[in-house]
Amino acid sequence: MPATKPCAHSSPSAVRRQVADFYSRYPYPPPAIVTRYQRPAFALERLNLRLAAAGRPPLPPNLRIWAPGGGTTLPVQLALHFPSASILATDICARSLQIAAKIARSLQLTNIDFRHEDLLDSAYRGQFHLIDCAGVLNHVARPADGFRAIRRALHPSGVANLWVYNTRQRWLSDAWQSALALLGATQSATQTNDRWTLARHLVDWARLQPNWRRTREALGAIHPSIDPVNTADALIHPREISFTLAQLWSLLARSGLHFLAWREDHAWDPLNTPGLPAPLRARIATLPPLERFQLIEALAEEDAPYFDLFAVRANPPHSPAPVLPETWRPAFNPSIEFINLRGARAVSSHHMPVLRRTEDSWAAYQNGDAREKSGLWLPLTPPQARLLEQADGTRTVPELLREPSSEPRRALAAFLHRAASSPVALLA
């Protein structure tokens, strides 16, 4: 069985109520930075290129997209990336929908329809070319029913992008939930404040234990005072289920969905990893796909990636990846708008201030202790570290580059461009 945390034996209605109440208190994700490509077709071209490599036909420009449990940000990002698409955003939390709708209005986005709805109650059939379901199937009463709802709603030629928790990575959340249960902190609405207070005390206490190295490292990115929403989502969520690869494959099969490809192939396929010795490569090449992925799962343990995959309704016949003409490859335009969702203000990447990380997370980041779940890992040289220390959110990249440094200006400019492209480095 999947690893299950609180509400595991509650009724679907109780789970729905507790999860909706949780996200009303902690709307997720906290709106920060999203991007918009200057060339509107870029995101669809990139997606179709990925699907073509997996032997699937391209999706149409006027595709219909469903974002079940999209929260405060995902529908807005989809609308920015797929401006010709029609997007349906549903969520059980009315407050999350209100925040997303407010952001959409401020950005003058007109291609999103918002509905207050539970994924498990949806009755859509064969309607959507793309279903983007990120971090939702872990929080429903019956995950198998959620997978089936997505399968029913998927167009015969459509694709679902599913993102779910990997059990190997969720040990810290499991530990805190177990500790809270031992301390008598239940999931009732009247005890939410008690659970939050106890979780904060546990974080502070664990950070002082010299022999708890693994726990202290995992807590490097946890900041209850600075980032309560992400902390609450990680440590006190009322309902969370995570999966092993075998459990995920079983759920896909039972629901009538079939694995198509990982969103990022290099993350899970050992044949795409660097430094693979020839004898191992020959042996691994004979394994079925699931067993190749399980090899990564076994060896990487808690460092194994999240499950971020494409699934389809019908198991397509095996066909080699086509040789795509160069004209199919979308030319990336580096001119991107970074949009601060808290103010819904778009600025050019050439004038984007580099925003400082908080002191605690910045120190952990420099020490290599923070294990970020998203964004770009930036290995820091001492001059680069000093450069970002000067980034207080008020100076632009050209202004920072005028500071004296021992590194060539061009190298620092390239580094800052990477930093400014990372949602980790840009915290509003």
Pairing outcome for strands 64-68 and 336-340: unpaired
Q: Nearest-CA neighbor of 150 among 307, 311, 261?
A: 311
Instruction: Determine the pLDDT at residue 230.
Output: 86
Let me know how long the chain is: 428
Instruction: Determine the pLDDT at residue 215.
Output: 92
d(CA 253, CA 239): 24
Instruction: Determine the pLDDT at residue 201.
Output: 93
pTM of the model: 0.78
Rg of the chain over Cα atoms, rounded to whole angstroms, equals 22
Fold of 18-168+240-312: Rossmann fold (3.40.50)
Instruction: Determine the pLDDT at residue 5.
Output: 53
Instruction: Determine the pLDDT at residue 339.
Output: 67
d(CA 374, CA 359): 19
Q: Is omega for the bond preceding 29 within 30 degrees of 0, making it cis?
A: yes
d(CA 203, CA 118): 33
Domain residue ranges in the chain: 18-168+240-312, 171-235, 352-420
- Cα 161 to Cα 138, 177, 228, 289, 380, distances in angstroms: 14, 28, 28, 18, 33
Burial 347-386 (b: 16+ CB within 10 A, else e): eebeebbbbbbeebbbebbeeebbbbeeeeebebeebbee
- Residue 55 near residue 323, CB atoms below 8 Å: no
d(CA 115, CA 128): 16
State which residues of the chain have pLDDT below 70: 1-10, 33, 187-191, 315-382, 384-401, 403-406, 409-428
- Residue 258 near residue 315, CB atoms below 8 Å: yes
